[in-house]
Amino acid sequence: MKKNGVDNLAFEPPSPEQRRAVPGPQQSPDPQEEEEAAEELCGWGRCAPPLLQLCNNAKGYLLFYSLLSVFQGIIVNGLINVSISTIEKRYELNSSLTGLISASYDIAFCVLCLFISFYGERGHKPRWLAFASFLIGLGSLVFSLPHFLSGVYKYGEKLDDTCPVTNSQFYNATCTPGSKSSLSNYLYVFILGQLILGAGGTPLYTLGTAFIDDSVPKHKASVYIGIGYSMSLLGPAVGYVLGGQLLNIYVDFNQQVRTDITPDDPRWVGAWWVAFVVCSFCTWLLVAPFSYFPRRLPGTQRIQAEKISEAHDDGKEHKDMGKDIKNFPWTLWSMLRNPVLMCLVIAAAVEALVATGFATFLPKFIENQFGFSSSYSATLGGVVLVPGAALGQIISGTLVSKLKLDCKNVIKFIAITCSIALALNSVFLFAKCGNEPFAGVSETYNGTGMLSNLTAPCNMNCRCLRSVYLPVCGTDEVQYFSPCYAGCSSVSIQKSGKVYSNCSCIVNPKTAFNNFTNGAITGKCTSKCTALPAFLFFFFLTVVFTFMAVTPTTVAILRCVPDMHRSFAMGVHMLFLRLIGTIPGPILFGVAIDNSCTLWSVDNCGKSGACWVYNNHLMAYTLMGISATCKVISIAFTVIAFVLYKPPPVKTSASQKDIETEMSVQL
């Protein structure tokens, strides 16, 4: 068997078992060799059953690494993203605060990643992942605690809100000065859960990835890393689908409470908490398998000996660093001085800003742009984001492996995929929807009243409650905040639901509901926009090409630094990924979405809560502008990295070629 033209049998050193089998003095066991062999057994201490050795290889490790990545993805990138809009309504939070919840995971990651990646490089990496499994399960359980601590959800007993509102219906309209809902205080519990999840995710994507690169040949590393990363995206897929389906179940189904609302009602809150509890216990099951893996897999030393460094500028001045804890500052400084590493890190971080922002708010974007329910929007978001991201990483990992690209060509590959993604970003220009007519928000009440004012002459005497949001669609195909604001004085129960009639604000009917020409039915008006298929198709392609840069970026980062610093380089990469990308990403997107709000919920004291209606055009253009700007910056830094990268001196390859030639002559 030959590799790179060299007979491996001529170079491969005999194993400890082969050396002990040679007759003569060499048969005496070498204590050091026996100790090294014991360190490569799967088990705990001297307990190493033969059955466990079946998983004691790179494929076995990849299996459990992928399972942990799946559950971490279900919780962090799936369930939390799906539940964001539901948590906003349930705990009276706005998008900026829920963006802070999403960013809390990355804050913990930033604080810990450098230290864990530096100290973990010298430690037992699989057991670090066992600890990570425990923390991820604990964080998921903590995140679900607000449901058990906040009591039963109360959406209000008054459902009809017809005109006029009687005095007895003002029971919930009283404002107590200085009163404040305690629900928003659960924000801190959500943040605590995310901080624990961030601490658990740190070893997974620093030490876990470096352990894969240590344990497989260089040309196979991109495939293994690509599979691991793509499996981590299976988690969000499951999270989006599972979480979306659970949102169709009432939040307090276990309390046996009576509900008079359906999932189509804007006040509906689904059972967002169930999957968090289940996933916490499932993740704890992975603690034991990771604890059994050895410090290094069998054959790792031979694989490391065969690898040729591709470190930028050969990494000469850094080779002796990082052997002692006291060298932590100098090792960090050497990483920061590596221009290729830093350009790749910044480029990846800026891309992550966009990816995290869309992962958090894409369901909300679809819900408001195309008029679907939270559950259906979450499912559509998962169908686009997760398969696209997984497909992109698998394709790129396979291409890099099959083409055997060196570090410089990998960087060129990254620049090409990012450029294509930038061109596809124009999907927001043509695949967007305007707002359906909304009385008092996007248009006046038949020429009366003013914009941004729900009160008009036709409903002035109704004394409607602004705190009760019950949208109805009139026969004039205009949406109203509630039956009261539409001036409806009668209600009847039909098979299709409640039908309101005698609506004084509806004067130009275009249709009829059960022979009521000036009536209205519950729910928002159906969107007439037909751009959803085009949006989903082009956004899917954008996601594919965006994530085609993820695995090659990881490979390039691991190659452009000295071998002993690969874990630490991943720590630096993840630090900047969070600081520049995933922390500000949800916050920036949340602020941008809030700025496009045209109708806020208001309590009886006039305090704003969640947003009910957005300006769809402004939202689409704002998100497109953020995405395009970030991609241009990412491409610029990738090109700079390509220009600055200096491959190792040719003498390394030349000496290898001389050895190959000499061996060919001998053979």
Q: How far apart are the first and last CA of the chain?
A: 13
Looking at the chain, the whole-number percentage of residues with pLDDT higher than 70 is 80
* pLDDT, tens digit, 9 for 90 and up, residues 143-196: 999 988 888 887 755 455 788 776 444 444 455 554 455 777 888 999 999 999
* pLDDT, tens digit, 9 for 90 and up, residues 312-337: 665 454 444 444 567 778 888 888 88
Nearest 5 degrees, angle CA 527-CA 529-CA 533?
120
Torsion of CA 78, 81, 86, 90, to 10 degrees: 110
Site of tokens 């939390």: 80
What's the pLDDT band for 654 if we cut at 50, 70, 90? Answer: very low
Residue 540 has pLDDT above 70, yes or no: yes
What's the pLDDT band for 220 if we cut at 50, 70, 90? Answer: confident
Which candidate, 422, 438, 428, places its Cα nearest to that of 479? 438
What's the pLDDT band for 664 if we cut at 50, 70, 90? Answer: very low
* pLDDT, tens digit, 9 for 90 and up, residues 595-632: 998 888 776 666 667 788 888 888 988 988 999 999 99
Q: Are 195 and 564 in contact (CB under 8 A)?
A: no
* pLDDT, tens digit, 9 for 90 and up, residues 245-273: 888 888 888 777 767 777 767 778 888 89
Question: d(Cα 612, Cα 85) in Å, to the nearest integer?
Answer: 11
* pLDDT, tens digit, 9 for 90 and up, residues 498-534: 888 889 898 888 877 666 778 898 888 888 888 888 8
Alpha helices in 124-273 (DSSP H): 125-143, 145-149, 187-205, 207-215, 218-246
CA 304 to chain centre: 33
The pLDDT assigned to 300 comes to 66
* pLDDT, tens digit, 9 for 90 and up, residues 233-244: 788 778 878 888
Question: d(Cα 283, Cα 278) in Å, to the nearest integer?
Answer: 9
Which candidate, 595, 658, 660, places its Cα nearest to that of 95? 595
Q: Sketch out the chain's domains with CATH numbers.
A: 55-167+184-434+530-652 (1.20.1250.20), 460-522 (no CATH)
Nearest 5 degrees, angle CA 368-CA 263-CA 192?
75
Question: d(Cα 83, Cα 272) in Å, to the nearest integer?
Answer: 6
Question: d(Cα 482, Cα 501) in Å, to the nearest integer?
Answer: 13
Which candidate, 207, 622, 647, places its Cα nearest to that of 432? 622
Residue 130 has pLDDT above 70, yes or no: yes
The pLDDT assigned to 144 comes to 92
The pLDDT assigned to 517 comes to 76
Query: 10 Å Cβ neighbour count for 35?
Result: 9
The pLDDT assigned to 6 comes to 40
Tell me 499's DSSP state. Answer: E
* pLDDT, tens digit, 9 for 90 and up, residues 384-443: 887 888 888 889 888 888 888 888 899 999 999 999 999 988 877 777 787 888 998 888
In the three-class reduction of DSSP (H, G, I as helix; E, B as strand; rest coil), residue 613 is classed as strand
Looking at the chain, the whole-number percentage of residues with pLDDT higher than 90 is 17
Q: What is the mean pLDDT of the chain?
A: 79
| Greatest mean pLDDT among 112-121, 462-471, 539-548 | 539-548
